[in-house]
A and B are shown apart, each in its own frame.
Chain A
Amino acid sequence: MTATIARDQAVTTPARKSGGRINRRSPLARVITYGLLLLFLIIVLMPAYVLVVTSLKSGREIGVNGQWNLPQEWTFASWEKAWTSLRPSFIRTFELAIPVAAISSLLGAANGFVLSRWRFPGADVVFTLILFGMFIPYQAVMIPLRSIVHEIGLPPGIPTLVFVHCVYGIPICTLIFRNYYATTVPVELIEASRVDGAGMLRTFGSVILPLSAPGFVVTVIWQFTSSWNDYLFAIFMSNTRNGPITIALNALAGAQSPDYAASMAGALIASLPTLLVYIVLGRWFIGGLMAGSVKS
């Protein structure tokens, strides 16, 4: 469990040490390798091609003939249509994902610090109990959760969803920070701070937090993406008037005979923020994925 983030650095830096090995494959093996890599590249990108091409076609070109062709007539009409119907929820989803990313990360940092570097007896058991919350099917809490958030007076829609995502984001953020601190912050640093007479909060605030940026990048990306993409909590606790983009997109695309061009433009619009995060911060995104694995 502790080594995941450290190991990730090995993933993100290509095999430099084994650079010489590239040429060790026989020419045939290399042709097969690159052939397969390209084939899979095309397969993986195919849905993206369909999304972009279809979203730029006019209504007349949507039929089954020539579906896979490039548009004869390029138009942004469907993008405009999709944007008009998704705009309010698009903005609301930022109001959801940004606070969730910030609050979950802070909680995760505090918990991760205590569970890795300010440990108490039984810390491992507590950690395991926390971790279990990450794997539960949320249906198992959904029925009472709906009434409880109503009863504690959370306004429906985004505020409720912020609360819920923060709560159920605690396990993963705690895991990420615990692994991060356990592998990057030496125990001696904490001991030195203790010897200097600093209490726990001072140690956390002035010694640990300044070292935490890489951990924060991971949890922020993770929580931003998962609250942005969430549909389960959203469908249980919000509607098209107060809910996030997944609800609005499903309403746009879910009709019996959907307007495919507008749906696909909508799907692209709904994916742009997370894709952007992924493209800009891709290296750390992989780190986030790696940290999602609970293993030693």
Chain B
Amino acid sequence: MSTKNTARMRRWAPGLILLAPSLIVLGVFVYGLIGWTAKLSLTDEHDALGSKGFVGLQNFIDLFTEDINGRFVHSLKNLLVFTAVFMLGALLLGLLWAFLLERGVRGEGFFRAVYLFPMAVSFVASGVVWRWLMNSGTGDQAGGLNRIFHDLHLGFLENPWWTDPDWGMAAMALPAIWQLSGYVMALFLSGFRGIPAELREAAAMDGATGYQLYRHVIFPQLTPTALSALIILGHMSMKMFDLIMSVSGAQWITEVPAVYVWQTLLTSDYAKAAAISMILLLLVAVVIIPYLIYNNRVERRS
């Protein structure tokens, strides 16, 4: 038995050794530090003086019940509005663009490149121009997009953008949609192009109309693509920080959990910041972990 095992070990060992540095580093800096943050979130380290002890889930309970003006719940609501608008917008635009380009148009490469270019720009840089575009002034004071609406006599479209207390986060999602729809388009284009031509031809032979072809043959084939697009957009949305910091700065009206962590750390309330971070991680994990497991299974089958 031992000779067989040694031979096997000899085969695997070099691979494991090559992988080891990365595994150790990720073990420490991903899993170890998450554990550290989790532990911190269960203590009462609310200032730079350090912790007096373990308080269980008190920090988490406080976030939902004791937070001044319901600040944490407010930040979750903001995140929800942002995520819904951002995901729906980017998904629909990306799908529409892919659909328009899918069967080949003149200048396809050019359109694709232009639709995709915002992806290369940082949120900090695009935040500069979006803050200008989403100027909250109206009427004679209208600037940015409102100015265009004003000059085109479309005054009813003028709005306060992200400074609106109820729907501001929907406006905040516009730059994110601008930036990532091209990415979704690229995903869907590869999905469309991955569908075997025979499938379309078979459907055409059966006399399927254009609508039927898409409804019953093409779109069902795109489900896995749509799923990964949703996952990628969803986890980006939960983590959204740069964009909000550069468009509005850290402000109550547009605060999301990722920004709240930063604000909390500025006051050295480490335990509270850790608790918010853990909730953020949990939100991402409930989506990502099933997806990774599912993905692992699908791959093993193929």
Contacts and interface: CB of A to CB of B under 8 A. Distances in A.
A joins B in a complex: yes
Interface of A: 1-4, 7-8, 10-11, 14-15, 17-19, 21-22, 24-25, 33-34, 36-37, 40-41, 44-48, 50-51, 54, 64, 67-68, 107, 110-111, 113-115, 118-121, 124-126, 128-133, 135-145, 148, 167-168, 170-171, 174, 199-201, 204, 225, 228-232, 235-236, 246, 249-250, 253-254, 258, 260, 263-264, 266-268, 270-271, 274-275, 277-278, 282, 285-286, 289-290, 292-296
B202 interface: no
A133 B27 CA distance: 10
Nearest to B273: A143
B221 interface: no
A267 B194 contact: no
Interface in B257-300: 258, 261-262, 265, 270, 273-274, 276-278, 280-281, 284, 288-289, 291-293, 295-296, 298-300
A295 B162 CA distance: 35
A8 B295 CA distance: 19
Nearest to A110: B18
A41 B137 CA distance: 27
Nearest to A63: B143
A172 to B, nearest CB: 12
B107 to A, nearest CB: 8
B124 to A, nearest CB: 4
A54 B299 contact: no
Interface in B95-137: 96-97, 100-106, 108-109, 111-133, 135, 137
Contact of B115 (A10, A40, A64, A136): A40
Contact of B124 (A37, A231, A277): A231
A208 B123 CA distance: 37
Contacts of B241: 231-232
A262 to B, nearest CB: 10
Contacts, number: 303
A96 B172 CA distance: 30
B302 to A, nearest CB: 6
Given A17-B197, A144-B36, A285-B120, A139 B258 contact: yes
A53 to B, nearest CB: 11
Contacts of A285: 116, 120
B53 to A, nearest CB: 18
A270 B36 CA distance: 35
B207 to A, nearest CB: 15
Nearest to B97: A40
A148 B274 CA distance: 16
A232 B111 CA distance: 31
- Among B12, B15, B40, B189, max chain A CB count under 10 A is at B15
B246 A15 contact: no
B105 A33 contact: yes
Given A47-B133, A64-B147, A200-B14, A232 B242 contact: yes
B133 A50 contact: yes
Contacts of A267: 124-126, 128-129
Contacts of A19: 104
B80 interface: no
A46 B258 CA distance: 29
Contacts of A260: 132
A11 B40 CA distance: 46
Given A21-B104, A129-B26, A143-B37, 16 more contacts: A15-B193, A18-B103, A37-B111, A47-B178, A130-B26, A135-B284, A139-B261, A139-B276, A201-B14, A230-B122, A246-B125, A249-B124, A278-B120, A289-B186, A293-B187, A295-B224
B113 to A, nearest CB: 6
17 contacts: A7-B193, A14-B104, A14-B108, A14-B109, A18-B104, A47-B133, A64-B147, A67-B147, A128-B292, A130-B23, A132-B289, A141-B33, A229-B123, A264-B128, A267-B125, A293-B187, A293-B228
- Among A51, A228, A286, max chain B CB count under 10 A is at A286
Contacts of A266: 128
A145 to B, nearest CB: 6
Nearest to A146: B265
A265 to B, nearest CB: 10
The 8 closest A-B pairs by CB, nearest first: A229-B122, A120-B12, A200-B14, A141-B33, A278-B120, A15-B104, A10-B193, A267-B125
Contact of A263 (B19, B128, B242): B128
A236 B33 CA distance: 16
Contacts of A232: 241-242
A247 to B, nearest CB: 9
- Among B183, B291, B292, max chain A CB count under 10 A is at B292
Nearest to A38: B111
B154 interface: no
B141 A114 contact: no
A296 B280 contact: no
Contacts of A200: 14-15, 18
Contact of B19 (A45, A115, A274, A293): A115
A124 B296 contact: yes
B137 A142 contact: no
Nearest to B288: A135
B84 interface: no
Given A118-B14, A144-B37, A235-B262, A45 B189 contact: no
B199 interface: no
Contacts of A10: 190, 193-194
